[in-house]
Amino acid sequence: MDAIEAYKLGRFDLVLMYGAILAHFDSWALPRLFASAAEALRENGVVIVEEMDRIHAIFMSRFKEFIVENPKPEALSISVHAGYDPVKGSYLRNYIRVKDWEVVTLPVNFRSISTIASTLWLFLKDIDIVRTETENLYLVLGKTPRGLLKPEHLEEPTVIKRGKTLEFFLVI
């Protein structure tokens, strides 16, 4: 099942998003995911999101450069920056398995912990952030659904349906 439709499974005391998964949800899918999580909660339920502060991690590293993803000789893989999708806010990365030079391009989305927490706050009344022992890894805790914005209210906007920006040319 698509996580964005998980609210259809019923109501729960706890919704756990574990494994730093939010990089796989673009800027339009993230609010839908959080709306689904809030809708799946019972009145005093809690959402826990384990996530990295990817913005801080990127500014402290050289993400746009060449990265060794798996250093083991039998499974050596690397990744390189491949582009940017301004509509979805996704950076494209080419992941390359050196053994056979197979390339897979994946979209990756970066957000700060404060952006994740403030977006979740649109759907839940109380938010807190807990630092873990791992550098740049946090738990964002949200409780008490607002119940104002339902998943079905978040229909695809025109720009997502079209899949690209409009062109604007200024003629002087």
- We report the CATH number of the domain holding residue 14 as 3.40.50.150
pLDDT, tens only, 66-123:
889 999 999 999 999 898 888 888 889 999 999 999 999 999 988 999 999 999 999 9
CB neighbourhood size of 128 (10 A): 10
In a domain, 52, yes or no: yes
In a domain, 99, yes or no: yes
Domain hosting residue 125, numbered range: 3-56+110-162
pTM over 0.75: yes
List phi, psi (to 5°) of 108: -130, 140
Backbone conformation region of residue 60, classed left if phi is above 0, alpha if psi is from -120 to 50, else beta: alpha
CB 93 within 8 A of CB 69: no
Query: Does the CA dihedral 110-87-117-150 come out positive or negative?
Result: negative
Backbone conformation region of residue 19, classed left if phi is above 0, alpha if psi is from -120 to 50, else beta: left
Q: How many domains in the chain? A: 2
Are both 100 and 129 inside the same structural domain?
Answer: no
Are both 66 and 140 inside the same structural domain?
Answer: no
